[in-house]
Amino acid sequence: MNLYSRSAKACSAELDGTACLFDPSTAEYLNLNSSGTAIWNAISVSKTIEDIISELLNQFDVEPDQCTKETANFLQEAVNKGMIKAINR
């Protein structure tokens, strides 16, 4: 099981409820929608995907299966771009 947390090298800025992440060492960036921003805010401390999904289900009107799929896809993309760390525990 992985723990997800923010990468120390990722810079972030939030405006009107959405965030933009930027890695100055690679020039990679991600523009986040409201659910991506909620994930980014949730992982200010390390969390499992199950913990993240539980928080999202409390914040958004979304089906659990859709939330699980989209959260996993977002985390994978953010890990691939170096914005989020996945640590196997």
Map out the domains of the chain with their CATH numbers.
2-88 (3.90.930.60)
Digit-by-digit pLDDT tens for the chain (89 residues) are 899 999 999 999 999 989 999 999 999 999 999 999 999 999 999 999 999 999 999 999 999 999 999 999 999 999 999 999 999 98
Written as one string, the DSSP assignment of 45-84 is S-B-HHHHHHHHHHHS---HHHHHHHHHHHHHHHHHTTSE
Query: pTM for the complete prediction?
Result: 0.92
Q: What is the pLDDT of residue 89?
A: 83
Q: What is the pLDDT of residue 3?
A: 97
